[in-house]
Amino acid sequence: MSFKAVLVLLAIGAVTVAAVPTPVEIEGESALVQRLLSSPAMRSDLFNGDCVEYYTPLLKGHVDKYNDDFSACRDSYNGAFALIDSSFRGARDELTASVTGTCLSLLNCDGLTSNSDAFGCLASGGPSASKQLEQASYKASDNQTSLLTQVSEIKDTETRCQIEAYRTYNTNHGDCYDDMLACLGDPNWEFPSTNYVL
């Protein structure tokens, strides 16, 4: 195999490992394992069928735990996001009141009877209103920056949580799968007297 081909395969492997599979992807893997384990070849005399019967629910248990852990990470993020978002409600209400008041002062100019009075109202009130809207824009930008910074921090926490959930799943599921493969070729294997620990 050429050096370039090796580099391409290593790059693909690195990208694959770096991504945290979603529960749907894990469920797909679990379904594939189930199909393989129920194939005629696996049920033949060459393999110990008791191993399949014993380890299949254990493998599914690891998948279910990963799904639960992944969901817990997402639920924690959603709860933290709701708290952060609600903490900015007062600032938003204050800006809304300010902007509404400024805009209403200009809209009131339209209610004046004569065109001359309406033009005068807009001419005198416009510069002040413009400054007030500009200040509101600055405050909104500052609030958005602060909110997004806090959200970014909890998003990082969610990502770390999901990566840890996947690492735990990958280790436990992998160990369980290796144990199953080891016993498939062992005709003397019998059901353990104690349950396998998930």
Q: What pLDDT is attached to residue 120?
A: 95
Residue with structure tokens 């353990």?
192
Dihedral-angle region of residue 39 (phi above 0 means left; psi in -120 to 50 means alpha; beta otherwise): beta
Task: Output the CA angle 9-14-19, nearest 5 degrees.
Answer: 130
Mean pLDDT of 99-104: 93
Q: What pLDDT is attached to residue 24?
A: 57
Q: What pLDDT is attached to residue 79?
A: 97
Residues shown for the chain? 198
> Residue 18 — very low, low, confident or very high, per pLDDT cuts 50/70/90?
very low
pLDDT above 70: residue 131: yes
